Structure formats: C-alpha cells, structure tokens
A and B are shown apart, each in its own frame.
Chain A
Amino acid sequence: MKFRCEREILADALATAGRAATNRTGTLPVLSGVRLDVAGDELTVTGTDLELTIRLTVPVGGQIDGSAVVPARLVADIVKALPSGAVEMTLGDDDLAISAGRSQFSVRPLALADYPAQSEPDVEPVTLASDQVADALRQVVRAASTDDARAVLTGVLLASEDTGVKMVATDSYRLAVRDLPPTSMLETGQKVLIPGRALAELQRLLSGGHELQVRLGTREAVFEAGTTRLTTRLIEGEYPNYRNLLPPSYPNVLTVGREALLDALRRVKIVAQAQDATPVRLVLGGDTLQITAITQDVGNATEEIDASYEGSEMTVAFNPDYLAAGVEAVEGDEVLLSTIDPMKPAILRGQGHDEYLYLLMPVRVP
C-alpha cells in the first residue's frame, strides 16, 4: 500500500473514523486501530468498536493498492502534527512509513487479519433532508443519557405515528421531543432506538450539507452523507412511556426573550457552578423574571429580565445546565416556560415553534 494525500484531508479522515475506534483494548486490540484501504486513487478509512462504525472515502494519489490497520490515535496525532502539504504513507513488511517534507515516521501496524469484516447494508436507502435532520438532532440528542446503567435511555427514539415521526430523547431529568414529517423509512407504528452517541457523530457529519441517505435494518441503521458512512447497532428494549409525562394544559406560562434568558443564565451559572449541584431559582410573577443562584460559602447571583407571566406566583428551581441546554435548543426569539407547580415537570417551547418541546424536571430547594 502506498499513497499520497493532502495533510488536511488525511488528518480529517483519520480523526473522523478514529472517533469510532475504541480506547478500550480489551478483547480485540485491533479495534484501537483504523483500517486503511487503498484502491486506485481512493483511500477508505474505517474505524469501529463493533457498536459504531465510521467509514469514509477520500481522494488520494494512489500508487500501490493495499490495506493496513494502524493505531488510530497515534497515526492521527502524527498526521495532524506534520507540516502542511502532501503526506506519503508506504506500507513496508512490518511498518508503515509516514513522511511529509523532511519529517519521517514509522509506525508498527496492527493485525489486519483480526479486523472485523464490514457487511454491506441490504436495505434500500431512503433520502432525507439533511438540514432538517441536523436541526432535529441538535435539539434532541442533548437530552439522551450517557449512563450505560440504563442502556435504553442512551438511545434516541424514532417512532412513526399517524401524524409523522417523533424523535425523542431523555435522561430521566429532561426529555426532548421533536416532530418530523412522515418518512417511508419507518412503517406506521414502527419504533427504533438509535444510540445517542452515533447520532451525535451523525450531527457532526451533517455539517457538510450533504444529502443524507438512511438504511434502517432490523439490528442496525446505516447513515450515508457524501462519502462518509456511519453504521450503528440499534438498542433493544422498551422505551419509557413519555407521553404520560405531558399534561394537556399548564396553568402558568412565562414568556421571555430567548437571548436575554440565555445571557442571564450564563452569568448566574458562574456562581452556581462554583459548587456542584447548585440550582438556579426562577421567581415567577409580575413583569420581570428574577433568576438567582445561592451557593453556600461562595456567594449569590441575581438577574432580572423583562418577561410576561400568567399564573400564580411561585419559585421554581432547575439544574442550570439542563435549563440552559433547553433554552438553547428551542427556536424563535421568545421562549415559553409552562409550569404546574415547583415539583412537577415544566415545558420549554419556542413561541410559534410547536414542533419541539423540552420537558425539564425541577430541583427541590429548601
């Protein structure tokens, strides 16, 4: 195997595929590597941890076809650090030579024969509008859990209903629900649970503005944007019934400017974050919204912003990060915060943007 490639292109490809390679070198050490395949003037870079696979193809000046598995992190770090310009990689008998300008590196490859074979998807692809998917992922994936102890919650639910598709994620403290138009990808009533980690990667890939093709199998989902393919196993299990958490109406509704609220939260968080788990309190009532953080032994912060409020006066407290993440996720200039009481979940929506809601559990405060 021998090829030349521009450093920027190669470094990007190695970093992208490398994100699927695993750091845990347990049963299969070869998974800490990325696979390089050169055929003609194309280089395919693949990384996998058996749950998530990222494969992408980039143009190179191919000289000798061939394949190798190389340590993902090491080779990505080397290529990133090389001077800009062309990088040449040559596979020898027992090493991979990397050279650019006057820099020379030699890296010992991993066992190619141990690298798991990648299967080709046998499901017909469905094309989706990538900007719409990217937008939905931005709003929803943030609410998915990262705690493996409840594997089901690390997934993002895609459920096809009569009215369209719902994209749902929750970590049991907050819940994000986004409506999407119907798609032939899912049959009515079909539900799939896609790992949030894979969708977070997909979100990054979609920033290129490519068309998105999706193949949904029984055990895995394959996403293709441009020359990049992301394959992920689906999560098995019963997703919690989130619908029960959404009451039909809320007696108290706060309307507040999104940017003003975000700015105030950013400032108050400085004091709240000085100690773990300090909530921010929202004092609801009248024409102003008061936001405070009281951090014992550290200090207090208070912000006041213009708002309109209909309902009974109350103070409700939230985890500042979760609240800010919700406000950030909603669309529109104004945010509606609907509450029942300080112990029941509140809903954040963008004014005039009913396609998305962010349900947030309050925090008990003395």
Chain B
Amino acid sequence: MRLVIARCSVDYAGRLSAHLPEATRLVMVKADGCVAIHADGGAYKPLNWMNAPNTLVDEGNRWTVTNPKGETLTITLHEVFSDVGHELGDDPGLQKDGVEAHLQELLAASPTSIEHGLTLVRREYPTAIGPIDLVCRDAEGNVVAVEVKRRGEIDGVEQLTRYIERLHLDSSLGRVRGVFVAQSIKPQARVLAEARGFTWVEVDYDELRGLRPDDLRLF
C-alpha cells in the first residue's frame, strides 16, 4: 500500500472527461494496482479512482494510470508532502458475525449438543463450492453435514442443500444427511429444511459457552 499526500490535479479521460483542480489530496495505490484519490472528507468514496487491472507509469511529478479499456487517469503532482509505503499482507476478510464463528467452534468442540452420538470429522470441510461448517458422523457411521447460522433463514437451508449435493458426488462417503443448526430458526426455514429431508436444531449460545447468567430464570 502506497500513500501519497500531495497537492495535485487529476484528469480522467475515458467514457467522459473529468478534471480535479489543484488541491491537497491523498493518493492511494493498493498492492493489486487500484488507484484512488481521496479528499479529506467522506467515509469511503474517492473523488476519482481506477480499478485493477491497470498499469501505472510513474514519471516523477506525473503519473499515468491506464486500464485495458484505454481509459486514463493522469495525476499531476505539484508538491509532495508525504510518500509512504507499507506491506499490509493478506487480509483475513470481513468477519461479519463473531457469534456465528464462535458458535461453529463451540459446536465443533461439542457435536453431541447438536445430536446424540455425533462425532466431528472436520471443521470447515473443503468442497469445490466452499467449506462446510462441520462434517460429522452419526452413531450409525453416516456422514452428517452441519450448516451453522446465528439466525436460521431460508438461504441457510439453500446453502446446506448445495453442500449436500456436492457431497453426494463423492460415492465413497456413503449415506449423507444434513442438519441445520442456529440459535433460532424461522418457521419458513424449518419447513424448507424438513421438505429437503434435513433436521434442524436450535442451540443456546450461552449454554454452549457454559455461561450461567446472573439473572435467575424461570427455566
């Protein structure tokens, strides 16, 4: 990641032409080649930008960024105040829901809380269309694919359906069935899960964490 703070003017030529007059701005060049020019305001949207793939020709006080469509972004640097680079490395991605990941971890540690007799084969079981949250075996030795969600909705059941289809392609696995697990499951998702031949289980996150709430409860 290269960050340049400079007094600059920018010209874009492509489907239309646009001109940013001379002012102090942040020019961001990302490792994948994306170039973005930011003002000191607004959360995320640059004043102008060019997505990767593109080529950046740095001629000192004049940068020319060209993409395969022939569009060009010309940045004229009048005065550079700061020019720093940092290696950020691979990004782990946006973790949208910490509870969901933790729930998966807790269930992997204690698969019997999903169903009696269940043993874990692998967490994040790889398939060509993405990893299955948990793959287990039941007491009879059947393969059980488990999809874990915080809130169980129809799209989670659809996801489990796709995984089961993938697992069916591997004849060495034998009989495969699906279990849909969530803290709470919407009635429509339950109906769909049952219609697809899956079982569904609601689990208590606090109980899995071994938390005894301070508040006394009736049940």
Residues of A within 8 A of B (CB): 148-151, 170, 172-175, 233, 235-236, 240, 242, 245, 343, 345, 359, 361-364
Contacts and interface: CB of A to CB of B under 8 A. Distances in A.
B185 to A, nearest CB: 8
A343 B215 CA distance: 11
14 contacts: A149-B183, A150-B184, A151-B184, A151-B185, A151-B186, A172-B219, A343-B216, A359-B218, A361-B215, A363-B215, A363-B216, A364-B214, A364-B215, A364-B216
A245 B216 contact: no
A172 B214 contact: no
A340 B190 CA distance: 40
Contacts, number: 39
B96 interface: no
A174 B218 contact: yes
A165 to B, nearest CB: 22
Interface string B179-219: 00001111100100000000000000000000000111111
A280 to B, nearest CB: 15
B187 A170 contact: no
A242 B218 CA distance: 9
A149 B190 CA distance: 15
Which of under 10, 10 to 19, 20 to 34, or 35 or more describes the interface residues of B? 10 to 19
Contacts of A170: 218
Nearest to B206: A149
A364 B212 CA distance: 13
A343 B151 CA distance: 33
Contacts of A148: 151, 184
Interface of B: 151, 183-187, 190, 214-219
Contacts of B186: 151
A362 B216 contact: yes
A203 to B, nearest CB: 23
Given A149-B183, A150-B184, A173 B190 contact: no
A148 B187 CA distance: 12
A150 B190 CA distance: 14
A198 B219 CA distance: 25
A257 B177 CA distance: 60
A361 B216 contact: yes
B184 A173 contact: no
B187 A173 contact: no
A362 B217 CA distance: 9
Contacts of A174: 218
A236 B187 contact: yes
Nearest to B217: A172
B190 A175 contact: no
A165 B100 CA distance: 40
A173 B217 contact: yes
A245 B218 CA distance: 7
Contacts of A361: 215-218
Contacts of B218: 170, 172-175, 242, 245, 345, 359, 361
A173 B183 CA distance: 19
A148 B185 CA distance: 9
A197 to B, nearest CB: 14
